Structure 1
């Protein structure tokens, strides 16, 4: 008579393809969101360091009656630059009441070490009055 076939356990090719498609869809949704959130964290770190540079500039101005022309002149130990470079640009004025005479700027690195070079270079600035500004991308990230 007829011999019964043994039923094999396992997944069919169709089931595997469906699972791969579902995982691909979930990854395509989650990955850009993760990259955006990670970049927000890096930008927040830059914002904190800019605030520290601003505070150090204010201390420097109180002591020497002028702003420092380089970050190295400040009483500040900055971490090694992994995601941003930090500079301060100050006009040679003695009027310390001008809140825009000096800006501290963080510029996003685009090297492969920066973990997400595809984000592109953007800048964040802080004035001595505490006003945060920057490029469109930088302000969008914040």
Structure 2
């Protein structure tokens, strides 16, 4: 599974320039699509992430709403944030989706997204499908 994560990340990194704002938006959309595919497998606290992220990316939600959602999720795992519990890792995956890609570290955000996804036990097939759908790789 580790190799699949690396291959998918490397495929994205070689196909696009993550320093380009247009590519950052595509990366954000990719993470939203991926998390939408597994919403039913997320802990209850994280099930609204895709909806909030979609509303933000379309201009229907404010940055403050996204920040509030991130804070709510961090509080849900407070004291356990470094845990390897699958539910904590799934929430950490969801938090990545709510991170703005324009903060200067889009590649790092994607790497964390892939790593938390894998370690949280979310289906690799769904991740691979989202990569293929958004990046054609």
- The TM-score bracket by the shorter chain reads under 0.3
- Larger relative contact order (CA 8 Å, sep ≥ 6): 2
- Higher relative helix content: 2
- Higher relative strand content: 1
TM-score in terms of structure 1 length: 0.26
TM-score in terms of structure 2 length: 0.26
Higher Rg: 1
